[in-house]
Structure 1
Amino acid sequence: MRSVRSRWFQMLRKKIIRLAKLFNGKLSRYYQINGRSPEYQILANLLTDKQADVVLAAGLRKVRTVSALSRRSGYVTEDIVRISGELAQLGFFSSWVEDGVRKYYADAFVPATMMNVLTNEVTVANHPEVAELFDRYIARMDDMFPANRAVGTGMVRVIPAAASISDKNSSDSGEDGSNSEESVVSDYDKLSYYLDNASKLCVSSCACAVARRVECEGDGTIENGLCLHLDRQAEYYIETGRGREITRNEALRLLRRTDSIGLIHTLVNTYAKGKALTICTSSYSTCLGLRGAIDKGTFVSVASNFIAERKDGCVACGKCMSSCPTNAIRMSSRFSLIDVQSILSPMRKNERNDEGVDYRERFEECDRSGTAPCMAYCRLGMPVQAFLNLTEAGEYEKAYELMLENNPFPTITSLLCVCESESHCARGRIDEAVAIKDVERFLSAKCSADHPIPSTINSAGTVYDDKIAIVGSGAAGMSCAYFLAKMGYRPVIFEKDNIPGGALSKYVPIYRIDKSIVEQEFDKLEKMGVEIRCGINVGVDITAEELKKAGFGAFMLAIGMQDGKFADASGNDAEGIYSGMEYLRMLNRNEIEIHKGDVVVVGDGIVAFSLARSIARKGGNDVFLFTKCSRDEIDMELEELLNAETEGVEVNNEWVISEVLGTAGRVSAAVFKKVIRKKGYGNESLPEYDENDIRTVECSTLIYAVNQVIDWCGLDKQFGIEIDPKKNLPVIDFRTFETSVPGVFAGGDMAEGDFGVADSIKEGRICAESIHRYLRKGQNLKIARRKGKYVPINRDSINYQSVDYSPVQRVHAEYDKRYVNRRSFFFGKVVYSDDQAKAEASRCLDCSKISYDADRCIGCGQCSAKCPTSSFGMAKRSRKDVFSDGYESNMSSLIVSRVVSSKGKGRK
């Protein structure tokens, strides 16, 4: 009896094996094709034996006519016309008309045939397995290459972004500093050259993006309208419905759009010098042609004729780092260090091991030395050093533009952010920290009014028609709407109040932020296409199911903590006791008169301090603020605490309320016990009390600014979201901010509790990216997402003798006289003058610098194109141009050397 394996091999189709060997070319000598081979499975699944006969008759890279195919295959003309048309539609032939004669051409299996097959929507829909099979085929080829892969042996060749090799950014010097023998920028290094010489142009989907989408491994890069085809290939794509014809100007606009979002342009490496039929455009994590080089570290095999070159003027903004596809650029420290071993902060105790980690997940923002504490501790990851440097130089618009990259609302954060960047500033070890928030506010006041509205179309130049509902119009909802609009969506914000803004409008006192600032930000959102519907309580006025029926496909829940609970004390049923959020809202809207007598506020967060200061400013009352934590543990700026005390608030630390006393049904006093120590860690710590250390404070009003909670309005049950019972918050994935229900995301207070405006804006940005990936079919919510983890320099390890460490007095922003009056609600600080802003910005120690590894550079030019100060340019490499007669021939010799070295002999 024959074995199952023997019978299985008998079932293999001989013509398909022959065809697979034809496509593999010289590789067939080193790789045995069987039924598990990806190329065999692709061909067997898509082609009949007659179709295989015709491809075999055509041969590879031979232009054939119908008569030639008929003669070589033995099929009659009518059959050849039909079969060749089928092969052209499938993608195994490209076809065009030249001098009135129909021509056919079978190209290499990858990338040419792969592109043709995967851009056929019908084929991909009927045979989705071909995406994974092509992926496997390319991965196998990548594995065959030795580690010392040579120049020009990659499947594709990178072409630099147009802006990076302009006269402004290019240089005569080569990689080794010598002059290039050829001109700085050859015609064939410019994409415009290929467009100028093309008789016809068309645009199509990106085949690699299609493959990633089918495999559910997309990184959010849309596949439609990315790749350009020229001349006969354009004619073929238009004729078979794979692409649409475009003009040269449309093609240039497409290239500019894709450059702006950091996509990389490549040419197939089999083209002769100055020739191209396809210009591929994709991201580093999508392109299968770049994968092997990035994964294996053989960067030079796909590199362009250029290499990035450092110039003067770097402000360490990190835009080059975040745009570099190969992680050749990282943030670093410019300081000499007292103890090299103390470089790493506790955030990075363990050395990273990349073994077995997907190449798309290996990106690191910093090298071992760390980077500026201001950038590392900024909740939004803003390039603080960069905008300080640019402010000092008077480049205000550039500085403001840098802030907007991660923070669309600096007018708000410059007033309300806790600003850990400032509290961890290295300058604070010398004299006083740089006044980062005051400089940020200066830039916002200077530039925000005249700054143009950002582009709100996607990379294909269109707008998505997906409907997205954002529930809540606070900082998280605003941020999510902003970034979705930038990506080409038109989200709808639902706000249950009649005024948008959430806590910014209802709870933040006017002396901290002028309400006109919030109104201006919403005006900007509306100009970007965001719809704002006020007076609708989602969950009550309209249910989640009704929103789904209305066509909403994704949801972002940004409901704030607007309800409060009383502390666990006896006597809380007396009149004159309020929750902090309720009282603050009524106070800000003049809906309540403060009762005569002293006021006690219980709490240690920003709500408690806002209440205490607001009541003090209203006038006539003595205000007592009791916190559970110590003075050093209060989670806010020291300035807020000092201002409260200056305005007459008596701050009492480490006290817990135990009892409320009442007279005639109204609160008359509050009894507190002293906290002596705490068990546990952080916010979960449990206090112990001194039962003999009791304090009784008379009062007519008691306000609890503790235990703020979310009012779900039934949405948790309507969506079916899993809730953490201890926190009353949704269970979410903190990398994507998706809840337990696919398509429902949460940010702001709903994600981590009341963590502040900066956290809310960051989470809104993350939710926007996740929603985009969720709505685009086949995109993975986690793959290739930059984590933005900047490791701070250990300030204690800095050798301050290595820099100009002379003390320089901080420029303190003045307060308006009306604000200084503790009985006033007038809004606040006076903005710096130009001279003051420059003087304060000049105090920055410039902790960061850029670390660049030229060996990893593939010459894509993204760093140069993105650099706001032109401190990265592109230099011609000091070797011959990267043009290959065909990567298969080069690859064959490489594989021979690998086989010989691994087996001790070649295959006979």
Structure 2
Amino acid sequence: MVTSSILVLFLLGLTAAAVLAAASKVLHVEEDPRIAEVEGCFPGANCGGCGYPGCNAAAGAIVKGEAAPEICVAGGPEIAENIAAIMGLEASFKEPKVANNICTGGSRANLLFDYEGVEDCRAEALLYGGEKSCGLGCLGLGSCVKVCGFDAIRLNEDGVPVVDMNACVSCGKCAEVCPTGAIRVSGMTMDLLHLNKIDDCLAPCMQKCPAQIDVRTYINQMKNGDMRGALLTMKERNPLPLAVGRLCPAPCETICRRNIADDGVAIHTLHRFVADWEMNSGSRVNLNCNPPSGHKVAIIGAGPAGLSAAYFLRRIGHEPVIFEKREQTGGMMKGVIPEYRLPSKVVDWEVQTILDLGVEVKNGVEFGKDITFETLERDGFEAVFIATGAWKVPALELENSKAEGVMDAVTFLEEVGKSITDLKGKKVVVIGDTNTAMDVVRSAARLDCNVTSLVGCIQRKMSANKNEVKRATELGSELLFLTKPTRFIAENGKVSGVEYIEVQYKDPKKALGDPLPVEGTEQTIDADLVVIATDRVPDMTPFTDAEGNIPFKINKKTGGIDCDKTSMQTSMPNVFVGGELHTGRSIIIQAVADGRMAARGIHHFVTEGEIPEPKNPQLRVIPESILKNMDVTYTIPRIKVPEITVEERKSTFKEEVKGSIVYEAARKEGSRCLRCGLTCYDAEAGAEYAQDSDVQKFSELGKE
């Protein structure tokens, strides 16, 4: 019985084998030999980062024409070129990408529960909702480390993943298993053009900065001696760190979380220190640029916004050309802002860094006369960014406003050192409360004259930065608050004085609205020169046709050209706008930010034909990031920056008022940074200086 059963099974097996053999001959399909050749080019990682289940499947897709030769994420350009040669194709440029961790929190954030034995981030998040009160926090169980097949990720002592940029092949596996989005894969274009999102790990300073500079990272890099890394972090958002480090009023410092405990970190000072490090070294840090894409972009105006847009467009591979009306490049940074605030050599260094990337500037070319939107389109420019600034000072419609000796602030500042070299014994009246007005006051005082400024509000309501107001008064200038000119007095066509009246708010305590004239308070003041510095507005003349029409919508609030708030695209689809032509009178960091946002919009427009709306953009400060109390251990006095004396200032235009700081002082100030996340912070910041005599524990303050 057993023997017969075995025989039956043997015959069945033999029959099945025969059938399968016959079927294989009938159904056999010869595999394209190129699949094996292509697969042989791959590094054999089988990581799946390309989207196919292994290298063989990816090779098959390439041979079928379903995938490009550069599909392999683990391979470089050489592998792509080898595959392209097999297929008789040309490999196109593929921008490399790497993983990066946006969370630096570790054990500093508030814990919601104990892990209770769970050892996988996804399971932890699924079962308990995650470790931190911050929804972006790294759970620290190392799921990303476990899935990485290239040993590119490790956990540091705080349980936070650290990515080895040289080992990472951007397969994306780590990002796939991260349940909170703490790890993301990105490339240079994405990094340079990324706009802050509410689901990013944003410190308050990053939220407040118009340019979205990663303050906590560059301060930490500087503190650890990585000056090159700190500079590159800054230049991901700001191509003009030298100028910004001197001119920015630092809104980031007012919201610094350290203010809750003592004084905010001197972010502005550290920003300048890092930027000065590069210039003082005499050599420029190398900035990577993608190969030319063939997309030409015209930029009208070589000020901060135009230079910023050109910088970002060139770095991501496009070909910007700047057209500038003046013979100098730099906008108001060159020849208007005084040397003692921003030296020409600093501007020249900064501009040259951008030109060295391959950006072309054509000086002496005026829009509306030498070039137009039509001529630029004929010349092959696919998009235009207009950033001609706000150079026009509105005239005051007062009696004798056109008398000799009445001039606008921009003209005055341009002529200082040229036609205006000595005002000794003269009486100068400056009208306005702007930063430009304070520049005029400070410059006039240096020319040995008597300066009086009529300011139509109280000091805290001035649009000028409080430090600029302080600098003006230190030179002996008189600021007459709550005063308004009513007419100019002239003799033989030349100004000789100003009549003004006192003004007051309806409710002086609240100081709301425009101050109103107080009857019976009219006075006069002698003047040899009157400088109007009440405002600066864009000049729309270059964009106005013969009938007086402007092809753009004008923002009634700013007086500038209106546009989409994130793409900077105007009502003309191929025209973008930024800087003071859009915002009206503003600060330099806003112009830099506009240039970057415009570069993002232009990039999508010329490559895709449409501009995607950013998802969850961070447009205002995130409420939960504003804390009321903090448990910080150490207090370290804020750094004091050296300055030249008031007497020295009176005699020089060339020397900067603020001096330099040394590395150890910068490092100590950097240690005050709490390395904040969205809701977490480093309570032990500054511990390395605990033994210094000027460092105290917060718990001991007031006990002495």
TM-score, reference length from structure 2: 0.71
* 8 Å contact kept, 2:404–2:494: yes
Q: Does 1:607 align with 2:607?
A: no
> For structure 1, which segment, 468-477 or 431-440, has the greater mean C-alpha deviation from structure 2 after superposition?
431-440
Which residue of the partner structure matches residue 450 of structure 1?
A: 283
- Note the 1:164-313 alignment, pairs <5 A: 188-189=46-47, 227-228=71-72, 244=89, 254=94, 257-259=96-98, 306=147, 311-312=156-157
Displacement, 1:384? Answer: 2.0
2:551 to 717, 720, 737: 720
> For structure 1, which segment, 687-696 or 560-569, has the greater mean C-alpha deviation from structure 2 after superposition?
687-696
Q: Does 1:653 align with 2:492?
A: no
Determine the C-alpha separation between the residues in 2 that align with 1:547 and 1:421.
Answer: 39
* 8 Å contact kept, 2:309–2:598: yes
* 8 Å contact kept, 1:732–1:740: yes
Displacement, 1:777? Answer: 3.1
2:654 to 826, 834, 842: 826
Give the fraction of aligned pairs with identical amino acids, expressed as a percent: 23
* 8 Å contact kept, 1:404–1:410: yes
The code of the aligned residue for 2:199 comes to E
Determine the C-alpha separation between the residues in 2 that align with 1:317 and 1:742.
Answer: 42
1:772 aligns to what SS in structure 2? helix
Determine the C-alpha separation between the residues in 2 that align with 1:746 and 1:601.
Answer: 32
Determine the C-alpha separation between the residues in 2 that align with 1:793 and 1:66.
Answer: 69
Determine the C-alpha separation between the residues in 2 that align with 1:561 and 1:327.
Answer: 47
Q: Deviations over 1:357-401 (max 9, x none)?
A: xxx99952368xxx6432222222222233223333323222222
Displacement, 1:654? Answer: 2.3
Displacement, 1:429? Answer: 4.5
Q: Does 1:376 align with 2:198?
A: no
Q: Deviations over 1:708-741 (max 9, x none)?
A: 2222343244982233466542121112111110
Displacement, 1:572? Answer: 1.1
* 8 Å contact kept, 1:671–1:697: yes
Displacement, 1:594? Answer: 3.9
1:364 to 186, 198, 210: 198
Flag the structure with more relative contact order, 1 or 2, with Cα contacts below 8 A and sequence separation at least 6. 1
* 8 Å contact kept, 2:625–2:678: no
Displacement, 1:560? Answer: 1.0
The code of the aligned residue for 1:575 comes to E
Displacement, 1:479? Answer: 0.4
Q: Deviations over 1:496-521 (max 9, x none)?
A: 00111111103110000111111112
* 8 Å contact kept, 2:567–2:611: no
* 8 Å contact kept, 2:250–2:268: yes
- Note the 1:379-390 alignment, pairs <5 A: 379-390=210-221
Determine the C-alpha separation between the residues in 1 that align with 2:526 and 2:513.
Answer: 29
Distance change in 2, residues 1:366/1:541 (3 Å): closer
Which residue of the partner structure matches residue 111 of structure 2?
A: none
Displacement, 1:553? Answer: 1.3
Displacement, 1:628? Answer: 2.0
1:634 to 453, 458, 462: 462
Q: Deviations over 1:564-601 (max 9, x none)?
A: 12224333132210011111111154556548521111
Displacement, 1:845? Answer: 3.7
The code of the aligned residue for 2:345 comes to S
> For structure 1, which segment, 824-833 or 682-691, has the greater mean C-alpha deviation from structure 2 after superposition?
682-691
2:587 to 756, 776, 787: 756
* 8 Å contact kept, 2:459–2:481: yes
The code of the aligned residue for 1:437 comes to H
Q: Does 1:484 align with 2:313?
A: yes
The code of the aligned residue for 1:712 comes to M
Distance change in 2, residues 1:609/1:618 (3 Å): same
Distance change in 2, residues 1:395/1:726 (3 Å): closer
Displacement, 1:653? Answer: 2.2
1:693 aligns to what SS in structure 2? coil
Determine the C-alpha separation between the residues in 2 that align with 1:644 and 1:317.
Answer: 48
Determine the C-alpha separation between the residues in 1 that align with 2:438 and 2:162.
Answer: 35
Determine the C-alpha separation between the residues in 1 that align with 2:247 and 2:642.
Answer: 17
1:660 aligns to what SS in structure 2? strand
Distance change in 2, residues 1:306/1:756 (3 Å): same
Which residue of the partner structure matches residue 549 of structure 1?
A: 378
The code of the aligned residue for 1:566 comes to A
Displacement, 1:471? Answer: 0.3
* 8 Å contact kept, 1:618–1:824: no
Determine the C-alpha separation between the residues in 2 that align with 1:430 and 1:766.
Answer: 34
* 8 Å contact kept, 1:538–1:713: no
Displacement, 1:603? Answer: 1.1
* 8 Å contact kept, 2:390–2:537: yes
Which residue of the partner structure matches residue 186 of structure 2?
A: none
Distance change in 2, residues 1:387/1:788 (3 Å): farther
Displacement, 1:810? Answer: 2.3
* 8 Å contact kept, 2:196–2:618: no
Distance change in 2, residues 1:776/1:402 (3 Å): same
Distance change in 2, residues 1:790/1:629 (3 Å): same
* 8 Å contact kept, 2:197–2:616: no
Displacement, 1:763? Answer: 0.4
Determine the C-alpha separation between the residues in 2 that align with 1:553 and 1:633.
Answer: 44
Determine the C-alpha separation between the residues in 2 that align with 1:481 and 1:244.
Answer: 32
Which residue of the partner structure matches residue 582 of structure 1?
A: 411
| 5+ long unaligned stretches in structure 1 | 1-63, 70-93, 104-161, 163-185, 209-222, 263-301, 332-359, 853-908
Determine the C-alpha separation between the residues in 2 that align with 1:818 and 1:95.
Answer: 88
| 5+ long unaligned stretches in structure 2 | 1-22, 37-42, 75-79, 102-142, 166-173, 184-193, 682-704
The code of the aligned residue for 1:654 comes to L
The code of the aligned residue for 2:459 comes to R
1:578 aligns to what SS in structure 2? strand
Which protein has the bigger helix share?
Answer: 1
Q: Does 1:689 align with 2:517?
A: yes
2:368 to 539, 544, 548: 539
Determine the C-alpha separation between the residues in 2 that align with 1:666 and 1:327.
Answer: 74
Which residue of the partner structure matches residue 858 of structure 1?
A: none
Displacement, 1:407? Answer: 1.2
Which residue of the partner structure matches residue 839 of structure 1?
A: 668
RMSD, aligned α-carbons: 4.6
Q: Deviations over 1:257-314 (max 9, x none)?
A: 133899xxxxxxxxxxxxxxxxxxxxxxxxxxxxxxxxxxxxxxx9996288763479
1:763 aligns to what SS in structure 2? helix
Displacement, 1:775? Answer: 0.6
Which residue of the partner structure matches residue 665 of structure 1?
A: 493
Displacement, 1:489? Answer: 1.0
* 8 Å contact kept, 1:595–1:701: no
* 8 Å contact kept, 2:198–2:622: no
Displacement, 1:685? Answer: 4.0
Which residue of the partner structure matches residue 567 of structure 2?
A: 736
TM-score, reference length from structure 1: 0.56
Which residue of the partner structure matches residue 466 of structure 1?
A: 295
